[in-house]
Structure 1
């Protein structure tokens, strides 16, 4: 069970009562416009079960944490990380927020909490983050947390019939904001 805190947020392991929010986030075409075509409820449920299970960093599986406000306990979204390469001490980060919580700084605040925790807990040397080139808000979150643009992968992934360029960002542990 993981539980992290920032000034305004609590990040915690998924619970069964998070299922409706997890489903809503993964079904919303607007939220997923730069991520994927929404999958079937059956596929999303399987992901939820996998990401709700106990987690081990070295497994390479995603740790998915629910984000909620400290003051009201309102569900904000999801954040997390996975070990991309254990020996090279590299982890990938990600986040997905409900539309009504966009633009409030919650993605940056939760990402910063995950980065700080992973540095201390797992001695991560480098964090990576990816987003579609057109996802300006997501790129801004990474930059706000100190990530630097390291490259553009042209037509890296496809959503429907559209090929999208992907931005790759990196943050070295000793460069992180404290």
Structure 2
């Protein structure tokens, strides 16, 4: 079981009792504004079951962790890594935090912790993040953690009926903060 600690947070492996928080974050319209239209509960359940079964960080797989307040054990959100390309040493990052904790620096703290851990555990060459252009909060998190905007994929992400441009951010493992 993975457990990482910062001054304020605990990042840990997802377990079956995390279902309600997983369902909430994947079905909440506000949280998914820049990600996807909320899916049906049955689809979310299938995704959750895959997360629970995912034991190996093989190419294409996500390693998802729960973010909790280290003092209260309150749910803060999720953060994950996707092993996108083993040969190129690339890992994608993604995160979603509960609206009650937005603006408190938890996303940056969790991202820095998981990047540092991944550098030690997997020795990647590069971290990559995708962020739809209007998602200013996520842009700020990435930049605070040393990610640099490397490009723009025009109309690359469709949420509902609307197309969005995707910003590509990168962080070379050798240059991490």
Question: Residue 59 of structure 1: CA displacement?
Answer: 3.8
Partner of 2:73: 73
SS in 2 for 1:100: helix
Spell out the pairing of 1:18-167 with structure 2 (5 A cutoff). 18-167=18-167
Query: What is the rounded CA distance, in whole Å, between the counterparts of 1:20 and 1:53 in structure 2?
Result: 17
SS in 1 for 2:66: strand
**Aligned residue pair count:** 177
RMSD: 0.8
Structure 1: runs of 5 or more not aligned: none
Output the TM-score relative to the length of structure 1: 0.97
Question: Residue 53 of structure 1: CA displacement?
Answer: 1.9
Question: Residue 149 of structure 1: CA displacement?
Answer: 0.2
Judge which range, 147-156 or 50-59, deviates more.
50-59
Query: What is the rounded CA distance, in whole Å, between the counterparts of 1:103 and 1:45 in structure 2?
Result: 29
Question: Residue 112 of structure 1: CA displacement?
Answer: 0.6
- Regions of 4+ moved over 4 Å: none
Q: C-alpha deviations, 1:120-144, integer Å up to 9, x for none?
A: 0000110000111000001111001
Query: What is the rounded CA distance, in whole Å, between the counterparts of 1:121 and 1:160 in structure 2?
Result: 37
Query: What is the rounded CA distance, in whole Å, between the counterparts of 1:71 and 1:160 in structure 2?
Result: 38
Query: What is the rounded CA distance, in whole Å, between the counterparts of 1:161 and 1:59 in structure 2?
Result: 30
